[in-house]
């Protein structure tokens, strides 16, 4: 069927679907890229709200389940110490694949620390996000991150996320 053969209603419906898809992607990118600013400002509640109530944040250092544990991580002495000395969490760019009310995203992140009057990269991480549309908007159900230090899981997280696939089980 050519463009001339489609009805105005069909063309409008197609445009509405395309716009909704772009809006979903934009909302997810906005949500995930706020992580750094919220982490570095100590905004515990706002950072925890990136996740669903039962969301999982699993990285090389700690695995947290639920907003309360994520909130507590930001409030911890270790994290507050990073803020007091100077730190920057960079998360992006983000690649998003939306499938109805679920999505997969992938990103790199850097944690930069201020030490001895200079800044140094403390860690570079591969991040695989799983998200769900909720009444609050898009929220993360899982973020799995692994340091890019030769860890075999890190490139798999990047590859599966880039392809819009679920990650391998980090426990395996």
Q: Distance of CA 167 to CAs 31, 44, 144, 159, Å?
A: 20, 27, 8, 9
Is domain 3-162 in CATH 3.10.450.50, yes or no? yes
Measure the CA–CA gap between 114 and 137, rounded to whole angstroms.
Answer: 35
Query: Encoding tokens for residue 81?
Result: 């110490």
Report angle CA 72, 161, 68 to the nearest 5 degrees. Answer: 15
Nearest-10 Cα torsion for 46, 48, 54, 56:
140
Strand order in the sheet with 102-115: 63-65, 51-58, 137-147, 118-134, 102-115, 87-99
Per-residue pLDDT of the chain (172 residues; tens, 9 = 90+): 566 678 989 989 999 999 999 999 999 999 999 999 999 999 999 999 999 999 999 999 999 999 999 999 999 999 999 999 999 999 989 999 999 999 999 999 999 999 999 999 999 999 999 999 999 999 999 999 999 999 999 999 999 999 999 987 766 5
Q: Reduced to 3 states, what is the DSSP secondary structure of residue 13?
A: helix
- Looking at residue 2, its pLDDT comes to 66
Domain range annotation of the chain: 3-162
């Amino acid at each position: 069927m050519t463009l001339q053969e489609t009805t105005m209603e069909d063309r409008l419906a197609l445009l509405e679907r395309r716009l909704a898809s772009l809006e979903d992607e934009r909302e997810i990118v906005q949500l995930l890229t706020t992580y750094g600013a919220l982490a570095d400002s100590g905004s515990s509640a706002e950072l925890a709200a990136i996740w669903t109530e039962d969301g999982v944040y699993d990285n090389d250092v700690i695995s947290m389940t639920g907003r309360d544990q994520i909130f507590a991580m930001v409030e911890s002495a270790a994290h507050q110490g990073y803020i007091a000395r100077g730190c920057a969490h960079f998360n992006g760019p983000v690649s998003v694949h939306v499938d109805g009310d679920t999505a997969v995203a992938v990103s790199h992140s850097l944690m930069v620390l201020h030490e001895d009057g200079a800044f140094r990269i403390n860690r570079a991480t591969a991040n695989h996000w799983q998200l769900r549309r909720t009444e609050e908007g898009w929220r993360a159900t899982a973020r799995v991150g692994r340091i890019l230090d030769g860890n075999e899981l890190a490139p798999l997280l990047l590859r599966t996320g880039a392809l819009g696939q679920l990650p391998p089980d980090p426990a395996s």
